[in-house]
Amino acid sequence: MSSTIRIKLSRLAELLEVKLEGDGECEISGLGTLADAVPGQLSFLSNPAYAGQLAATRASAVIIDEKSCDACPTNKLISARPYATFARASEIFHAEEMPAPGIHPSAIVHSGVNLDATVSVGPNCVIEAGARIGANSIIGPGCIVGEACQLGDSCDLRRAVVLYPRVVLGRNVRIDANSVIGADGFGYAFDGEKSRKIHHGGSVRIGDDVEIGAGTTIDRGVLDDTIISNGVKIDNQVQIGHNCVIGEHTVICGCTAIAGSVVIGRYCIMGGASGAVGHITIADRVEVSAMSLVSRSVTEAGRYSSGTGHMKTSRWKRVITRFQELDDMANRLKGLEKLVKKD
């Protein structure tokens, strides 16, 4: 990643609050991987699997932890958490051009909207009556902000985001393209002949510093609101059902599906393509590994998995056949144990 920014390593170390070993006058103009960085770029090592790339890196500096320093042939920014420090560095070098404040001529903004003068409203947007949008927010092209929605300061709706009526966003919320926040959840009651729709009267409340990836859907509550707490990060193509409560600083990876009325604690991680059945609770600091299904409440912190590991299909077929026989095998074993005890 290159940028127009050039910054001396000594100043960069100050901004990142890390220790510098090397030439403080060296100028950095961008970021790169250990394998592909060129002189003038900053790289990082956080995964030991890439340690073999250190010796040959052309990066002018590397963010690295103390124990790996001796293997690094170039300038070093020493951090206890290199990946987190790299994230901070990416903020410095990611100089994204912000649109100018104002309303594009093709946008439709209801006269009753409370719009701060610093807000940018892009082409073909629709902002309905009673909406309130805070300072320095960006409503990107093709977005729809429904009736009585409330957006805090510095919100950023990227492209074709849809907020249904009465959705509330805190400060510094970013929502990427084609996400839909506040549609009705999947709620039906079978009356003996057909499924009758349960109309949803709640909405969605999203806290501060939340990021939501592209193509994600978060359903409104039936009576109470669906709640996404401060600091939550949600990846692309995630489905969060009605009346869910997601605790602070939880991370939900791509293609995860969470059924209705699930309560997830603080600092949890839902791995990619994982899922949770409805009406369960997941404690704080639980990590669910990729493609696992949480089928009952989790009451203790820790890492949880389900399913079987990958293997060659021919072997998997034999293993799954044995798996189906486990119950019978267990019953036969109990019978043998009883016979042994009698003898």
- Tell me the catalytic residues: 242
- The residue assigned the tokens 């429904």 is 146
Rounded to whole angstroms, the Cα distance separating 192 from 89 reads: 59
**Assigned token pair, 42:** 């900053």
- The residues pairing with 18 across neighbouring beta strands, listed in sequence order, are none
- The residue assigned the tokens 């690094």 is 72
**Assigned token pair, 117:** 């003068």
Rounded to whole angstroms, the Cα distance separating 267 from 160 reads: 30
- Amino acid letter for position 277: V
The CB-side HSE value for 134 (13 A sphere, CA atoms) comes to: 15
Rounded to whole angstroms, the Cα distance separating 62 from 93 reads: 15
- Amino acid letter for position 233: K
Query: Packing angle between helix 9-16 and helix 82-93, nearest 10 degrees?
Result: 120
Nearest CA among 330, 308, 327, 328 for reference residue 319: 308
Rounded to whole angstroms, the Cα distance separating 73 from 300 reads: 44
